[in-house]
């Protein structure tokens, strides 16, 4: 691991942790849980560097997609679909989310479990909360992470993830984990960190199901918005509905080919089907 990604002492950080402790305890975290979690925690300078240089914002769309959806990743996905066919079928039956979608999320988020993250989550989230750019958000995530530890799903030593605190096979942030993580086999732990992807993949399907995923509908659809409504739609809130629906838009007519030009009276809009 890069030395800049290892926790280190920092006086300002330690002072912040001291002040945060009372807020965490007021939110329901026990003193014992807090003290154990922060026993080896520290400030990680590399986390701040990563926060300032996220690939999604520094690469062109073409460059990003060439890596995210490479031929190698697609081939690996086909192999994983075969290897985990039985598990994915069980998950699909319980949550109603097709196996290909669950697999695609797994591939995008951690390259099928190969890159689940090795950064201590408590240190990473505490560093971001202390730094302050999105302090309120990351303090909320930190408090949720402490509650996960308190629940016994994972130990502080094994609670590792990305520099931003995303965890496990499909990179759940702590608040999403608390709300949607699944104990698929009923063993008493919602384990998204281990090499076994069962709970991670089930949690992903549960998450999508709770946000209104509709099995059998396309992940991406092409929609048209009447030109007359363009101004109004820009002024209105743009909160997405499940499967990308917006009341001002209508689906592309089936008679038109995917590559044909839109009619002059309308504007073409592509909508993603991920839940808002």
Asked whether the beta carbons of 112 and 70 are under 8 A apart, the reply is: no
Kindly give the interhelix angle for 11-26 and 121-131, rounded to the nearest 10 degrees: 100
Q: Which two tokens stand for residue 90?
A: 């069980």
Give residue 198's Cα distance to chain centre. Answer: 17
Nearest to 193 by CA among 140, 129, 149: 149
Q: Which two tokens stand for residue 5?
A: 């990604």
* CA 257-262-263 angle, 5° bins: 120
Q: Which two tokens stand for residue 21?
A: 């402790």
User: What is the rounded CA–CA span in Å between residue 95 and residue 65?
Assistant: 29
Give the residue numbers marked as catalytic: 109
At 136, is the secondary structure helix, strand, or coil?
Answer: helix
The β-bridge relationship of strands 119-120 and 160-161 is antiparallel
């Amino acid at each position: 691991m890069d030395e800049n990604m290892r926790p280190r002492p920092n006086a300002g950080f330690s002072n912040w942790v001291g002040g945060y402790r009372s807020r965490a305890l007021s939110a329901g975290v026990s003193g014992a849980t807090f003290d154990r979690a922060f026993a080896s925690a520290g400030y990680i300078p590399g986390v701040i560097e990563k926060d300032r240089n996220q690939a999604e914002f520094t690469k062109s769309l073409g460059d990003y997609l060439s890596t995210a959806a490479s031929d190698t990743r697609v081939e690996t996905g086909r192999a994983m679909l075969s290897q985990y066919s039985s598990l994915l079928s069980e998950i699909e039956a319980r949550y109603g989310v097709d196996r290909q979608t669950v697999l695609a999320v797994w591939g995008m988020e951690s390259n099928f479990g190969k890159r689940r993250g090795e950064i201590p989550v408590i240190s990473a989230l505490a560093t971001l909360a202390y730094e302050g750019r999105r302090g309120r958000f990351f303090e909320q995530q930190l408090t949720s992470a402490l509650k996960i530890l308190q629940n016994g799903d994972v130990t502080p030593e094994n609670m590792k993830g990305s520099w931003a605190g995303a965890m496990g096979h499909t990179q759940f942030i702590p608040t999403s984990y608390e709300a949607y993580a699944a104990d698929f086999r009923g063993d008493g732990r919602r384990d998204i960190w281990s090499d076994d992807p069962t709970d991670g993949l089930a949690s992903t399907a549960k998450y999508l199901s709770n946000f209104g995923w509709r099995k059998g509908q396309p992940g991406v659809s092409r929609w048209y918005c009447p030109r007359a409504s363009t101004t109004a739609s820009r002024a209105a809130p743009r909160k997405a509905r499940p499967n990308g629906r917006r009341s001002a838009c209508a689906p592309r007519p089936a008679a038109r080919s995917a590559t044909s030009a839109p009619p002059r009276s309308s504007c073409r809009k592509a909508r993603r089907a991920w839940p808002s």
